[in-house]
Amino acid sequence: MNIIATDRSSLESDIHIEHFPNGLTLLYEHMPWLRSVAFTLLTGSGTVYEPAGLEGLAGVSLEMVQRGAGQLSSREIVERLDFLGVERSSTVTTCHSIFSAAMLPQSLPESLAIYGEIVQRPHLREDDLEDARRVAQQEVRAIQDDVAMRSSIELKRFRYQEPYGRSAQGRLEGIERIELNDVVNFVQEHFSAAGAILAVAGNYNWEQLRHEVVSGFGTWQSRIQPEDPAVIIRSGSQHIVEESAQTYLALAFRSVPYHHPEYYLSRGLLSILGDGMSSRLFSEVREKRGLVYAISANHFTLRDTGSILCFAGSTAGRARETLDVTLATISSLGEGIDPSELVRMKNRMKMNLVLEPESGMSRSAQMASDWYYLGRVQSPREILSEVEHLTCDALIEHFQRHPPTAWTLVSIGEEQVELPYGI
């Protein structure tokens, strides 16, 4: 039953794009129905660019740039942003450092000016390095205690190896080795306007925004960005012994990357597999057998390679069955798609598209990500058209052309499980 109407004005986009001579790209989507505005700033300073042996440098550098910049001390940056009521976060991913912020529109000019200072004129003082190192070490230890989170980090480490498998938190020994010079060099080289993306979405004025970005980021220096190294995927199983009530399974297999012409076919299959309460994994693993409380499947993309990642946790003695049922359920996608599954999948995906304009934060993140992977911003209308065109036959044919391969399994807990022979 197709009950998500899509003749909506919210699906039309009012997008502005500007390329600055220094290499920065500014993206803006006007969303006048919101009371707020949000931005996402990507710089090419992810973990993949850390020198070997300094795993954690990207995170420590991100911490250091926010400890004083331009005329502002570390304390003044925090106090000004708090005073302005800016909700914010900063994270490191494989390829980027990401600054995210949401606020009332009147706070945008000063917030942009502060972030302009952070990426261009950070103080990077020796006195702050020990504190930044300690903060990073705390995060590594916190992850050590979170077994479910660790399963996803260990999966990435095992599957993508060096340098793509590095974790955002780094390693204790890598963090210990970091000197101020390493931070200064990393920041100079990678917090560069070249390839940087600033995506803004919400209730603001384009001309005014443009003016503020010119004044805050117009003189940002550009450095030639390094070539991305090749991705090498490792298949196989790894078990990590841990005294935990559940055994955590993290499973991966090859899929198409985000820019692939068949991405939405893959996304549609993933939705049938793992989105919503009628999805095959939720239904087979949890609802029919009660093997897990939570099971999820999502798409992970690098520029030229994609994977589907599945996560589940079961108490000892049940992990083997959870793995077997999960593998059988994934493979069942090739045996046929029920037309009702197709309709539900479309409705879920369309609903997400229709509601995306309710949040400037998620829209700005999506725009930045689109620009990085596709070199353009997709409108909800464009994605909708892709989704509308999906058919059961096309999904099955895609599965046959791109069957699950290059399997990786990482398990953490008391029950050792491995991928079956031949997979």
Partner 1 sequence: MEFRHCRLPNGLEIAAEIAPQALSLGLGYFVRTGSRDEAQEVNGVSHFLEHMVFKGTERRTAEQINRELDDLGSLANAYTSEELTVYHITVLPENQDRAVELLTDMMRPALRAEDVETERQVILEEIAMYDDQPPYGAIEHCMENFFNTHPLSQRILGTPESVQALTSEQLRDYHRQRYSPDNICLIATGCVDFDSLVEQAERLTSSWETANIHRQLHPPQVARKVQFLHRPSAAQQYLVELGLGPARTDPARYACRVLASMLGDESGSRMFWELVDNGLADTAAIFTQEFQECGLVGSFMICSPDDLEINWQRFRDVVHSCPMVPFQDQELVQAKNKIRSSLVLGSERPSDRLFSVGHAWTLLARNEPLDEVLDAYAKVTLDDVYAVFQNWSEQPRVIVVAGPRTEFEIEGIYP
Q: How far is the CB of 401 from partner 1 (least distance, A)?
A: 27
Cα 376 from chain centroid (whole Å): 18
Binding mask 138-177 for partner 1 (x = CB under 8 A): xx-xx-xxxxx-----------------------------
Please report how the helices 339-355 and 263-274 are oriented relative to each other, as an axis angle in degrees rounded to 10: 100
- State the Cα–Cα distance between residues 366 and 40, nearest whole angstrom: 9
Is residue 228 within 8 A of residue 303, CB to CB? The reply is: yes
Q: How far is the CB of 169 from partner 1 (least distance, A)?
A: 11
Name residues contacting partner 1, limited to 330-359 (CB under 8 A): 340, 343-344, 347-352, 354-355, 357-359
Q: How far is the CB of 152 from partner 1 (least distance, A)?
A: 14
Q: How far is the CB of 148 from partner 1 (least distance, A)?
A: 7
* CA distances (Å), origin 167, targets 99, 350, 397, 408: 18, 33, 35, 17
Which amino acid, one-letter code, is at 62?
Answer: L
Q: How far is the CB of 221 from partner 1 (least distance, A)?
A: 28
Is residue 379 within 8 A of residue 13, CB to CB? The reply is: yes
Residue selected from 103, 199, 325, 330 as contacting partner 1 according to rule CB under 8 A: 103
Q: How far is the CB of 112 from partner 1 (least distance, A)?
A: 16
Identify which of residues 79 and 179 has a Cβ nearer to partner 1 in the complex.
79
Q: How far is the CB of 48 from partner 1 (least distance, A)?
A: 25
Among left, alpha and beta (phi > 0; psi -120 to 50; other), residue 315 is: beta
C-alpha torsion sign, points 161, 164, 168, 173: positive
Residue selected from 3, 21, 52, 375 as contacting partner 1 according to rule CB under 8 A: 3
Name residues contacting partner 1, limited to 208-237 (CB under 8 A): none
Residue selected from 227, 230, 277, 335 as contacting partner 1 according to rule CB under 8 A: 277
Instruction: Encode 327-339: b = buried (16+ Cβ within 10 Å), e = exposed.
Output: bebbeebeeebee
135 near partner 1, rule: CB under 8 A: yes
40 near partner 1, rule: CB under 8 A: no
Identify which of residues 2 and 416 has a Cβ nearer to partner 1 in the complex.
2
Identify which of residues 144 and 331 has a Cβ nearer to partner 1 in the complex.
144
Is residue 17 within 8 A of residue 187, CB to CB? The reply is: no
Identify which of residues 46 and 380 has a Cβ nearer to partner 1 in the complex.
380
Residue selected from 40, 246, 301, 366 as contacting partner 1 according to rule CB under 8 A: 246
> Exposed/middle/buried for 375, CB within 10 Å: 0-12, 13-18, 19+?
exposed
83 near partner 1, rule: CB under 8 A: yes
**What three-state secondary structure class fits 72?**
strand
